[in-house]
């Protein structure tokens, strides 16, 4: 699928799995301002694709993303107004990924650092190579990390572990990140893509109605909103949509459901 954004490539498979690839391998997939600005539109187009059930976010070559393009960031910080605008675009990209209507999985090998780790945290799940290196490094640069990104990290790993990562700005391995709760599965590097795709295909075969409700209710709980209000539209829809009837029929007929 054409993205119209240099450094971002997208693919939609017949298995219901879409892939969004951060594609600047010569720059360790560092994220430019144009990429931050373009990401919400690319995600909107992917969400509108009728066959998409799951999104994998990955990086080209041997790296997920080394974060923001530092040379460009230096230029942005030369002017306070430019820095403000940059952070707004950064936050908008993160929020667009977090709000994607289907399950999202970051697939992390090599470096997942700074803005790259920020995008991974905005996904629903994270699969990483055991030897991947993850960290959020604004304290090394004097950058004030955005409130939304900080809060999302704290909800994911807990307040103390969020401070542990942000205070030091140190990198941790994929295996250590799994212990901290930053990563959901850490696997050997040569098995990473196959494992992530296997999981994505499993999820793509589940009920989109159920998955959508889960995303909305869990988000409501994490953000301190009323979970009942979040689930009610899905409950009303489920009384008339075919998912439950198909799921029950498939169970009784001992066949995979066709949602």
Over residues 145-188, the pLDDT tens digits come to 999 999 999 999 999 999 999 999 999 999 999 999 999 999 99
In sequence order, which residues have a C-beta less than 8 Å from that of residue 97 and are 6 or more positions away? 39, 43, 57, 104, 119, 122, 123
CATH class (in words) of the domain with range 8-204: alpha beta
Tell me 185's DSSP state: E
Q: What is the rounded CA–CA span in Å between residue 150 and residue 136? A: 10
pLDDT band at 44 (very low <50, low <70, confident <90, very high): very high
Q: What percent of the chain has pLDDT over 90?
A: 99
Q: What is the pLDDT of residue 249?
A: 95
Average pLDDT over residues 83-93: 95
Sheet of strand 172-173: strand arrangement: 111-113, 133-135, 172-173
Q: What is the pLDDT of residue 175?
A: 98
For the chain, give every domain's residue range.
8-204, 207-253
Residue 11 near residue 19, CB atoms below 8 Å: yes
Q: What is the pLDDT of residue 22?
A: 98
Of 35-44, 71-80, 98-107, 210-219, which gets the smallest average pLDDT?
A: 71-80
Average pLDDT over residues 26-43: 97
User: How high does pLDDT run on average in the chain?
Assistant: 96
Please state, as a whole number, how many other Cβ atoms lie within 10 Å of the Cβ of residue 255: 9
Q: What percent of the chain has pLDDT over 70?
A: 100
183 three-class SS: coil
Average pLDDT over residues 104-120: 97
């Amino acid at each position: 699928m054409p993205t119209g954004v240099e450094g971002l490539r997208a693919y939609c498979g017949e298995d219901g799995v879409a892939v969004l690839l951060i594609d600047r391998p010569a720059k360790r997939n560092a994220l430019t301002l144009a990429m931050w600005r373009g990401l919400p539109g690319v995600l909107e187009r992917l969400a509108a694709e009728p066959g998409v059930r799951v999104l994998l976010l990955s990086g080209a070559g041997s790296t997920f993303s080394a974060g923001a393009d530092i040379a460009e960031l230096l230029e942005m910080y030369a002017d306070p107004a430019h820095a403000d605008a940059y952070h707004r675009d950064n936050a908008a990209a993160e929020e667009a990924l977090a709000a994607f209507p289907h399950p999202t999985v970051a697939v992390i090998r090599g470096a997942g650092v700074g803005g790259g780790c920020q995008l991974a945290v905005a996904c629903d799940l994270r699969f990483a190579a055991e030897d991947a290196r993850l960290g959020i490094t604004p304290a090394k640069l004097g950058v004030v990390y955005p409130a939304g990104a900080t809060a999302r990290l704290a909800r994911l790993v807990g307040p103390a572990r969020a401070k542990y990562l942000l205070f030091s700005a140190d990198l941790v391995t994929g295996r250590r990140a799994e212990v901290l709760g930053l990563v959901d599965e850490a696997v050997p590097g040569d098995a990473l893509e196959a494992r992530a795709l296997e999981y994505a295909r499993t999820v793509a075969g589940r009920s989109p109605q159920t998955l959508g409700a889960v995303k909305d209710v869990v988000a409501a709980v994490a953000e301190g909103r009323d979970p009942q209000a979040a689930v009610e539209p899905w409950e009303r829809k489920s009384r008339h949509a075919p998912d439950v009837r198909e799921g029950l029929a498939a169970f009784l007929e001992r066949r995979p459901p066709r949602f």
